[in-house]
């Protein structure tokens, strides 16, 4: 027999799939799905609506649900979701990105709504990357936001599952970003810098002055992505 938590989660998934969005109110759940929960777990003698409140709070505590107080809405972020298919509030989107729940698709150029949602997701990914590195390039002292980029280790086209993963993104300035992209720089699994000698005095001086990787404050780079970058740039 299912537990309350298991069956509430099951019915949340069913309801959000039917509605084709990730949000619902407690009252909507009571009216539309609570009878199915009660039937599945045979809740004789219990007060289903009170038990539901407790389970919803547990799911919030476990970061499976987010709650927007001024709208009375629960947002389900327990599963991965495609950003292009969902209109997600900014605060919920940030939480989902940090949990690596957001997935980005390749979309056609004439799909205006889906493009807008994807751009919103990309903008929040960049913002959270800058916050993760305290608004400073991880390899130098550049801290002007207009000169900082969210640089992927495993590239967008090569690694769909890493597109929205903060563990695949490092904050770099516009000078260090191409060095990482084109294989003049990489990282070992313990974050030591790996360098390739360029045929340019300017690049040589830039690389010589690049000696320290400044670790992020919250979400570190994943060794899986580090290895993919070394493989692509022939450091392994």
Q: How buried is residue 151: exposed, middle or buried, by Cβ count under 10 Å (0-12/13-18/19+)?
A: buried
What pLDDT is stored for residue 119 in this prediction?
A: 92
Q: Average pLDDT of 211-221?
A: 96
What percent of the chain lies above the pLDDT cut of 90? 65
* Judgement on whether residues 147 and 225 belong to the same structural domain of the protein: yes
71 in a structural domain: yes
Residue 8 is assigned to a structural domain of this protein: yes
Write down the pLDDT at residue 46.
64
- Is residue 113 in some structural domain? no
Backbone angles phi, psi at 151, to 5 degrees: -105, 120
Mean pLDDT of 45-72: 83
**Domain's final residue, options 36, 58, 79:** 79
Q: Which of 39, 56, 79 is the last residue of a domain?
A: 79
What number is the average pLDDT over the span 166-172? Answer: 98
Rounded to 5 degrees, φ, ψ at 73 are -110, 140
Q: Given a cut of 90, is residue 131 above it in pLDDT? A: yes
Q: State whether 74 and 139 are in the same domain.
A: no
- pLDDT of amino acid 45: 54
pTM (2 d.p.) = 0.82
Q: How many Å apart are CA 76 and CA 16, to the nearest integer?
A: 8
- For residue 97 the two structure tokens come to 């990105």
Report which DSSP code applies to 220. Answer: P
In a domain, 90, yes or no: no
Of residues 111 and 96, more confidence is placed in 96
Whether 51 is in a domain gets the answer: yes
Q: What is the pLDDT of residue 71?
A: 65
Whole-number mean pLDDT of the chain?
Answer: 91
Domain containing residue 50: CATH number: 1.10.10
> Rounded to the nearest 5°, which phi and psi values hold at 150?
-90, 105
The DSSP output letter for 196 is: -
- The answer to whether residue 69 scores a pLDDT higher than 80 is no
41, two tokens: 């777990």
CA atoms of 110 and 114, how far apart (whole Å): 9
Alpha carbon distance 103, 44 (integer Å): 41
- As a whole number, mean pLDDT of residues 136-157 equals 96
Please tell me the least confidently modeled range out of 9-13, 64-68, 125-129, 142-146. 64-68
Length of the chain: 236
Per the structure, the count of domains in the chain is 2
Using an 8 Å Cβ cutoff, are 232 and 158 in contact?
Answer: yes
Residue 21: predicted pLDDT: 83
- Do 143 and 223 reside in the same domain of the chain? yes
Q: What are the tokens at 205? A: 């001086």
Residue 202 lies in a domain: yes
Q: Is residue 128 part of a domain?
A: no
Q: Which domain holds residue 176?
A: 135-232
Asked whether the predicted pLDDT for residue 160 surpasses 80, the reply is: yes
Average pLDDT over residues 34-58: 84
139 with 70, same domain: the answer is no
Note whether 69 and 142 are same-domain residues. Answer: no
Domain-embedded: residue 125: no
Question: Would you state the pLDDT for residue 159?
Answer: 94
Q: pLDDT at residue 227 above 90? A: yes
The residue-averaged pLDDT of 140-155 equals 97
User: Which residue, 13, 44, 79, sits at the end of a domain?
Assistant: 79
Phi-psi domain of 135 (left: phi exceeds 0; alpha: psi -120 through 50; beta: other): left
pLDDT at 8 over 90: yes
Same domain, 71 and 141: no
**pLDDT at res. 70:** 63
């Amino acid at each position: 027999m299912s537990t309350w938590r298991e069956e509430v989660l099951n019915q949340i998934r069913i309801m959000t799939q039917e509605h084709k969005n990730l949000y619902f109110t407690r009252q909507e759940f009571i009216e539309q799905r609570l009878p199915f929960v009660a039937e599945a777990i045979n809740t004789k003698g219990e007060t289903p609506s009170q038990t539901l409140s407790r389970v919803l709070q547990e799911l919030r505590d476990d970061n499976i649900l987010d709650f927007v107080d001024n709208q009375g809405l629960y947002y389900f972020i327990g599963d991965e979701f495609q950003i292009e298919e969902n209109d997600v509030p900014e605060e919920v989107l940030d939480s989902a990105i940090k949990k690596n729940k957001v997935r980005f698709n390749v979309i056609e150029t004439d799909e205006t709504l889906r493009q807008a949602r994807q751009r919103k997701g990309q903008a929040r990914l960049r913002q959270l990357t800058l916050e993760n590195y305290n608004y400073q390039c991880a390899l130098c002292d550049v801290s002007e936001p207009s000169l900082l980029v969210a640089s992927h280790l495993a590239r967008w086209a090569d690694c769909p599952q890493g597109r929205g993963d903060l563990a695949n993104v490092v904050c770099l300035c516009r000078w260090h970003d191409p060095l990482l992209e084109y294989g003049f720089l990489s990282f070992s699994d313990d974050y030591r810098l790996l360098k390739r000698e360029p045929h340019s005095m300017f690049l040589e001086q830039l690389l010589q002055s690049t000696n320290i990787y400044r670790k992020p404050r919250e979400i570190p780079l994943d060794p899986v992505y580090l290895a993919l970058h070394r493989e692509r740039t022939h450091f392994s």
